[in-house]
Structure 1
Amino acid sequence: MWSINYKCQYFHKGSVKVQQVCKKFFLNFLKRNEPIVYKIMNKMYKIVTLLVILCITQSSSSIYPEIETRSGWVRGITLRNTFGTTYHAFKGIPYAEAPVGELRFKAPKPISRWEETLNATQDKPPCIQKNTLFINHSVEGEEDCLYLNVYTTSIPRHDETQGNAVLVYIHYGGFFAGSGDSSYHGPEYFMNENVTLVTFNYRLGVFGFLSTNDDVAPGNWALKDQTAVLNWVQDNICYFGGDRDRVTIFGQSAGAASVHLHMLSPLSKGLFHRAISQSGTALSAFARPLPEIPLLVARAQAAFVGCDGNANTSALVDCLRNIDARVLVKSVDYFKFFGDQPSVVFMPSIEKRTSLNPHPFITQDPIEIIKSRNFNNVPWIVGFVQNEGLITAAELLRKSSLRNELISNFDSYCPQLLGLNFSTFPNQTDFVWTKIKDFYLEGNTINVTQPSTLQGFINLYGDRFFNYPGYKAIDLHLATGLHPIWVYSFNYKGEYSYVDHFARTNEGKDLIDWGVCHCDDLLYLFSSPALFKPLKYDSNDMQINVFMTKAWARFAKYGIPQPYCFIRWPSANKCNKELNGYTDFCYLNMTGSYETRGQIFTENNFFTNRLRFWSELPLFENFLYDV
């Protein structure tokens, strides 16, 4: 188990070594002299030692600061962002043992202490993956990947009473791709707000979520990796100037769903104090655990790589442990039936608490946990963007070959793409799909000459996977009355957008105004040099950036996302109301564009006819909501 009982003591390697050398020299000298000289020289020793320590630590350690963590010494690097803020970066710190060999498909093992000073100046490779989110479809990364990065504006030099508020970011990627790498999630913007930022890798795909629904492989390895990071933060963040009693977890997409799952997990209790979910919750169709599916997926995965898919679970997992990691990653293509769909194959699972699995991550459906009121009731921000559905719809609509195939197989592909087979009774799937098609597409297929059908398809994807599940999550949490919730809708169209990366093609750019895409709010929290140029210093984009980083930082510091007194952002708890049997609430609208200017104001009505439509469909989850 992970230990969090400790008292921070700060050591800087340069000062320790200098003190030892100085002391040895002076003591040898003093032993050969008279007592009066001894007293004088003893005072001189203290003064000289102090001066030498100041000189050395101010020169070498200011460029490459060294800190002793509970696992050993780490050497970082001091950097300066474009705003002139100096900060310290410590990259590639291991937070658990490498999950390879016998540790594959097991909970993370606490890291052993290392002896030499760890060079923590470079990002480590991502967890092994086939990243189909962006243009490169090749297998990348390593199975030895459980590393984190810490960015801080101050390193404590004594036992300080309180450090910076801490922000721990959980990356996007559909549970199959992504990383905490600084080329995608750079810290520069947050460093202006005097906070300590942590980013990290966690296991992905089959390595992060393989489950046999029993004690052999209970699953949720990725979520347990994330919990290991939170334990590491509790144990070590004080050495980096962070306050372990003010930890905010935030994430986007799969990371946002992970944040919500940590709110529902007993394993994460007490490890964080606030939460932010950007475009995703535990009720999202790509994240909500389904009881019978994990074992079926595990058996199919085994068969794809030459293992016996019908073997007992122990033999099945033993076989998969001996398959080359890259072979396992590539084999996920066998699950695809259309392009890269379904993109999410491995996802969270519901575990059983047993003597062999005494610390499960989650043991009930998220809806049941929320309704039981037995969850980590911390202040929570929940966010959405204008066109969430573009993460999948962009490529399907813009790439003519995929679009034509979709049109030719519209009524057979779409119910599968939307996961309706997991949410409806078999004899109702066609009925539900017909109602959806009538509502979003006026009973037609998509048509490039009718922009309304393209936008309707985007809205359909966004509502199914993000907007409606997010609305229901807020609704259920508000009903408990246990914690404050703030809601925002990001509708600001900046100079850059993730839509071109998700589409993976320049084709079809002029079909419609593609609007604000899934992930676009991240552009104003992180630099992403691998994908985008820096925001222009005096642009409208930068004004949105300043607002968002200040709001997130103030939330981390004080529990209220209120960066300016002249922008009102009330919690949904204070403005929710019943509207014809449905819950409605206010939210913060961030809108405008880089060509005009950003506008940020409170709207009073989050509930729409599109959300009402989904509320009235005969879906399994709707029955659970109402029980």
Structure 2
Amino acid sequence: MSEPIVHVNEGKLKGNVATTVKDVQYYSFKGIPYAKPPVGELRFAIPQPPESWKGVRDATKDCNICAQVDKLTGNVVGDEDCLYLNVYTPKLPTSSSELLPVMFFIHGGGFIFGNGTDTAKHGPDFLIEKDVVIVSFNFRIGILGFLALGCKDAPGNMGLRDQVMALKWVQRNISKFGGDPNNVTIFGISAGGSSVEYHLLSPLSRGLFHKAIAQSGSSLVHWAQNDKDKIKTLAARIPTVKGKVITDSEELLKYFKDLPTNELIKLSFKAIQTDEFRGGIHFGFVPTVEESGDWEPFLGESSYQLLAKGEFAKVPFMTGLSEREGLLMVLLGPQVLDKLAKEKKFIDYFPFVLDPVEETKLESRLKSIYLEGEQTSKDVDGFAINYFTDVDFLGGIYTAATLIAKHNSPVYLYEFCYDGALNYLKKLNQIDRVGAAHADEGGYILRCEALKDALSDTDKRVQEVLLTLWTNFARYGNPTPKTDNLITTNWEPIAETGAACLVIDKDLSMKYELYPERMKLFLEMYEKKFGCK
């Protein structure tokens, strides 16, 4: 079929036949609407179901990405009409064929950048060759996705609600593409990883997926959550650029609805840049605990409390990160990284505000842990990179994994340490440092056309290991149902007796302590800030 036709609930779609880099054939369907365009009066609103169409819709072309600031040019790119998804399948169903596991990819970008439908950055080639169906999609980001004014027309978490709508579309339609609606694995990197964990927590997402993989993200990391009052304050700062003072939520909402898209995105991005925060990175308009109202909240209670009480979806869960996540600061905050390396004043970047006496005690403890404790590299700023690894990523990821494992099994924890030709962040940004940086494992799982260096035999082996672990988990709920010459180690889930962790490097190995002094600190601090009073 050179022009395959699939009939979904909303109408007929014409896709095309594509081939992977290894010349494996698959079917591609792009730009499928999964919700009504959130434009006009629907700007900021809870997403609405998609409309049907007549005839055959062309699903061979790339769709709009969601409106955002381009990090390189500073210009606004994309469009508000962006709630579309792509489906890639190794085979279309027949009366005798078995349905395939579905892997639903949630893109990263701090909830203000990125998209999931650009196949040059997130190509399905590698996973398709493992005989799974891939779904990628866009969701509203920045102020359009996460403005929280405590009203039905801007409740907050609209971008996460978009993700729910896409998951509902999958449940209705994915069998038409050969995918099994009863075997859906959600997975994502960075903000996508945080989104995965939020779906564990939200009652709106219940039953829409069956396994979950959170890569380099958690609902607990400070940059993936913001207080609703702080979001309101951030929003109220936007009209002051034009000399207007608006504090009433309804007036603010009207003001934002009347602004042209480009102006709204630019002004909101400038507001984020001037926002004060603690930690290494900050994105402002991100998920929040919603106010109660005449709508069903995506998240109505603190994520820590929900995790601690065991009020989340009990599905097989994989979570982890790269060994040197803090290398992200080489890109996003080089001056901050240099300042901490020189001045060694850790408390300035600790994400939780404490009273002065507590801060003095904590500063002494932080210096002991990061200056005198275990050093993982010979870099002169290695201790600062470790600190931002923990502050921005590992502290929240580890705490969440520990809480989830108390109420749910299995929970698989990994640390990606390999440094090779497909390390995504390092290679794209030419970071000349040792070790695996933030989101680096993503380049081994999703094809990025810009990563064109020749692969060594070890690169190829590590990639095959990662793809096998991820797709085994999607297929069976267990990344290592058996060991062999490729998968040489049984990946043990976290147990009550300790935090078992798979180290993914040129060889696989298990370890049973993950920076114990560093993680003990963060477990205590999360409990202190968010635990039951």
In the alignment, is the contact (CA less than 8 A) between 1:424 and 1:620 conserved in 2? no
Cα distance change of structure 1 residues 533 and 498 upon mapping to structure 2, 3 Å threshold: same
2:471 is paired with a residue of what secondary structure? helix
Matches within 5 A, 1:85-104: 85-104=24-43
- Matched with 1:542 is 460
- State the secondary structure of the residue aligned to 1:189: helix
- SS in structure 2 opposite 1:292? helix
| 2:382 corresponding residue in structure 1 | 455
- Correspondence for 1:381: 318
Q: Which range moved further: 145-154 or 371-380?
A: 371-380
Q: Which has the larger radius of gyration?
A: 1
Cα distance, 1:535 vs structure 2: 6.0
Matched position secondary structure for 2:238: helix
Pair 1:254 & 2:175 matched: no
Matched position secondary structure for 1:63: coil
Q: CA deviation at 1:193?
A: 1.1
Give 1:561's match in structure 2, choosing from 479, 485, 504. 479
| Cα distance change of structure 1 residues 599 and 408 upon mapping to structure 2, 3 Å threshold | closer
Calculate the TM-score normalised by the size of structure 2: 0.90
Post-superposition offset of 1:608: 2.1
Q: Would you say the 8 A contact 1:585–1:607 is kept in 2? A: no
- Is the counterpart of residue 624 in structure 1 residue 524 in structure 2? no
Distance 1:315 1:396, change over 3 A: closer
Question: C-alpha deviations, 1:451-477, integer Å up to 9, x for none?
Answer: 654111111111011111111111111
Secondary structure class of the residue paired with 2:185:
strand
1:603 to partner: Cα distance: 1.9
Aligned pairs for 1:232-311 within 5 A? 232-304=169-241, 307-310=244-247
Structure 2 residue aligned with 1:605, among 476, 492, 513?
A: 513
- 1:532 alignment partner, one of 443, 451, 456: 451
CA distance in 2, matches of 1:380, 1:615: 20
Deviation at 1:440, TM superposition (A): 2.8
Q: Pick from 205, 228, 249: which aligns with 2:165? A: 228
CA drift at 1:77? 1.0
Distance 1:381 1:204 in 2: 25
SS in 1 for 2:160: helix
Match of 1:9 in 2: none
Q: Deviations over 1:294-322 (max 9, x none)?
A: 22222223434665332x21111011011
Matches within 5 A, 1:99-248: 99-132=38-71, 135-158=72-95, 162-180=98-116, 181-248=118-185
Per-residue CA shift, 1:148-193, capped at 9, x if unaligned?
Answer: 01000111134x5741110001001000111111111100001111
Letter in 2 for 1:253: S
Q: Does 1:514 align with 2:430?
A: no
Which amino acid in structure 2 is aligned with residue 569 of structure 1? Answer: N
RMSD over aligned CA atoms reads: 2.9
The match for 1:321 is: 257
Q: Are the structure 2 counterparts of residues 137 and 415 from structure 1 closer, same or farther at C-alpha, using a change threshold of 3 Å?
A: farther
Name the CA shift for 1:535/1:325 in 2 (closer, same or farther; >3 Å): farther
- CA distance in 2 between counterparts of 1:187 and 1:105 reads 30
Q: How does 1:457-472 map to 2 (within 5 A)?
A: 457-472=384-399
Matched, 1:489 2:415: yes
Letter in 2 for 1:523: G
Secondary structure at the aligned position of 1:193 is classed as: coil
**Cross-structure match for 1:419:** 351
Helix, strand or coil for the counterpart of 2:193? helix
Output the CA distance in 2 between the equivalents of 1:322 and 1:426: 44
- Write out per-residue CA displacement over residues 325-368 of structure 1, whole angstroms, 9 at most, x where no aligned residue: 111222212332599985411111112343x21x2101000111
- 1:216 touches 1:313 (CA, 8 Å); kept in 2? no
Q: 1 CA distance for matches of 2:47 and 2:99?
A: 28
AA aligned opposite 2:179: G
Question: For each residue in 1:267-301, what CA deviation from the matched residue of structure 2 results, as whole angstroms up to 9, or x when unmatched?
Answer: 00000000000111111111234353222222223
Q: Which residue of 2 aligns with 1:38?
A: none
The 1:65–1:576 alpha-carbon spacing in structure 2 relative to 1, beyond 3 Å, is same
Tell me which residue corresponds to 2:273. Answer: 336
CA distance in 2, matches of 1:429, 1:317: 38
Show the counterpart of 1:56: none
Residue 125 of structure 2: SS of its match in structure 1? Answer: coil
Q: 1:440–1:453: 8 Å Cα contact kept in structure 2?
A: no
Structure 1 letter corresponding to 2:438: H
- Counterpart CA distance in 1 for 2:517 and 2:127 is 37
1:523 aligns to what? 443
Matched residue SS, 1:165: strand
Structure 1 CA distance, aligned partners of 2:173 and 2:143?
Answer: 30
How far apart, CA to CA, are the structure 1 residues paired with 2:238 and 2:526? 27
| 1:535–1:590 distance in 2 versus 1, CA, 3 Å | farther
In structure 2, distance between residues paired with 1:418 and 1:103: 38
Distance of aligned partners of 1:145 and 1:493 in 2 relative to their CA distance in 1, 3 Å threshold: same
Q: Would the aligned equivalents of 1:247 and 1:272 in 2 still touch at CA under 8 Å?
A: yes
User: Any idea what the Cα deviations from partners look like across 1:202-223, whole Å, max 9, x if unmatched?
Assistant: 1111011000134452110000
Match of 1:34 in 2: none
Secondary structure at the counterpart of residue 325 of structure 2:
coil
Amino acid across the alignment from 1:601: S
Task: Give the whole-Å Cα distance in 1 for the aligned partners of 2:275 and 2:386.
Answer: 20
Contact 1:166/1:198 (<8 A) preserved: yes
Q: Which residue of 2 aligns with 1:29?
A: none
* Residues 265 and 362 in structure 1, CA contact (< 8 A), matched pair in contact too: yes
Distance 1:258 1:425, change over 3 A: farther
2:323–2:436 contact (8 Å) kept in structure 1: yes
Letter in structure 2 aligned against 1:550: T
CA contact (8 A) 2:89 2:132 kept: yes
Is contact 2:46-2:154 (8 Å) kept? no
Shift of 1:370: 1.6
Please say if 1:587 is aligned against 2:514.
Answer: no
Letter in 1 for 2:478: I
- Structure 1 stretches lacking a partner, 5+ long: 1-61, 444-449, 578-583, 592-597
Distance 2:526 2:476 in 1: 39
What CA distance in whole angstroms lies between the structure 2 residues aligned with 1:297 and 1:228? 27
TM-score (norm 1): 0.77
Aligned-partner Cα distance in 1 for 2:179–2:340: 53
Describe the SS at the equivalent of 1:375.
coil
Aligned-partner residue type, residue 381 of structure 1: M
Separation (CA, whole Å) in 2 of partners of 1:309 and 1:429: 36
The 1:68/1:215 distance shift into structure 2, 3 A limit, reads closer
Q: 1:403 to 1:276 in 2, by over 3 A?
A: closer
C-alpha distance in structure 2 between counterparts of 1:275 and 1:407, whole Å = 35
Q: Would the alpha carbon gap of residues 99 and 426 (structure 1) be closer, same or farther in structure 2, given more than 3 Å must change? A: farther
Match status 1:73 vs 2:17: no
